[in-house]
Amino acid sequence: MTKSEIESRICEIVQTYSQYDGDNIQLQGDLREDYGIDSISLVELLVDIESQFDITFDSSFLTYESFSTAGSIADYINEKLNG
């Protein structure tokens, strides 16, 4: 899977959890501030991504700085899948 395919898929997944502005997910948009994803939705988003990509996030990645944009999530998944 290419990085652009991963980015597109992550944006689609984020869109399903977005409380507003879900039609225009940007890679650098903040999940909480720009898309209204609360802490419960973040957990659901995490589980959904892990399931769809068949990966497990390292606990060290699950910080606000790392798990805050679709782009940072896509970068992490790209690294996990494509090394």
How many residues does this entry show for the chain?
83
**What is the number of structural domains in the chain?**
1
Q: What is the average pLDDT value for the chain, to the nearest integer?
A: 93
pLDDT in tens, 19-59: 876 678 999 999 999 999 999 999 999 999 999 999 999 99
Contacts of 76 (CB under 8 A, 6+ apart): 57, 61, 66
Q: Is the pTM of this model over 0.85?
A: yes
Give pLDDT, residue 21: 61
User: How far does Cα 25 stand from its chain's mean position?
Assistant: 11
Range of the domain at 23: 3-82
CATH number of the domain where residue 19 is located = 1.10.1200.10
Query: Between 70-82 and 39-53, two packed helices, what is the crossing angle to 10 degrees?
Result: 30
